[in-house]
Amino acid sequence: MSKVAIVTGGSRGIGAAISTALKDAGYTVAANYAGNDDAAAAFTKETGIKTYKWSVADYDACAAGIKQVEADLGPVAVLVNNAGITRDAMFHKMSPAQWKEVIDTNLTGLFNMTHPVWGGMRDRKFGRIISISSINGQKGQAGQANYSAAKAGDIGFSKALAQEGARAGITVNVIAPGYIGTEMVRAIDEKVLNERIIPQIPVGRLGEPEEIARCVVFLASEDAGFITGSTISANGGQYFS
């Protein structure tokens, strides 16, 4: 059986940890990214994982990129929809562009990436689609109407697709992380982090990217074949959905 995995946004942050964990679990990994060539080159140098540049917000670019990955590495068995962006603003100040960019990447990106791999997975009677949502898609977050809508949409998308894929051996699941100690979160003012954010997390610390990556490796495995349409909340007890 093919052990090829694509991880979108797979060369930095949580995505880099996912790409590395899948490689360590025996997968041949293609790490997609959008524009940060330096980070992608450094990631390939460090891990040996091939990187591929295209935007998940562009359907044709996704179809062409996936075709290239399959020509290079073989049929895709595992797709991890991890790429995501924020364009935060309180709603009265949110521009249509801020809304659209976040929806295009964080929600439409799932359609754009999943649609081109779906037929092959159906034909081969095996597939794993794992998408990275967010605690803020489950509970909502002021200043993130766009992001919360997209991340909640990822969960609805996955529940619908889980029903369509079940008989074809395709599972479709979601991981909803809470605060994870990536560059983005560690860049938050230390006082805000220590006095306002960490006290909201019952386990008393940020999550690690590797903790999300281990959930992905489990959901990707054949052992997880009875789990579909699920959302794993990985948030240190901050929110129960």
Backbone angles phi and psi of 203, in degrees to 5: -75, -10
Decide whether 126 or 215 has the Cβ nearer to ligand NDP.
215
Position among 127, 130, 179, 228 found at the interface with ligand NDP (CB under 6 A) = 179
Binders of ligand NDP in range 69-128 (CB under 6 A): 82-85, 105
Backbone angles phi, psi at 148, to 5 degrees: -65, -40
How far is it, in rounded angstroms, from Cα 236 to Cα 205?
A: 8
Task: Name the residue among 196, 208, 195 with its Cα closest to residue 236.
Answer: 208
For ligand NDP, give the closer residue by CB, 71 or 187. 187
* CA-based torsion, 119, 120, 122, 123: positive or negative: positive
59 belongs to the catalytic site:
no
Which of residues 65, 116, 165, 177 is near ligand NDP by CB under 6 A? 177
CA pair distance 26, 217, nearest whole angstrom: 10
The two tokens of residue 158 are 């996955």
Question: What are 124's two structure tokens?
Answer: 């081969």
Q: Are 95 and 89 in contact (CB under 8 A)?
A: yes
Closest CB 168 distance from ligand NDP, rounded Å: 26
Q: Is 35 helix (H, G, I), strand (E, B) or coil?
A: coil
Which of 27, 147, 179, 239 is flagged as catalytic?
147
Nearer to ligand NDP (CB atom), residue 66 or residue 126? 66
Contact mark string toward ligand NDP, 4..33, x via CB under 6 A: ----xx-xxxxx----------------xx
Of residues 28, 36, 98, 238, which one binds ligand NDP by CB under 6 A?
36
Q: How far is the CB of 33 from ligand NDP (least distance, A)?
A: 4
Q: Applying CB under 6 A, does 43 fall inside the site for ligand NDP?
A: no
Contact of 198 with 224, CB cutoff 8 Å: no
| Residue ranges in contact with ligand NDP by CB under 6 A | 8-9, 11-15, 32-36, 39, 55-57, 82-85, 105, 132, 134, 177, 179-180, 182-185
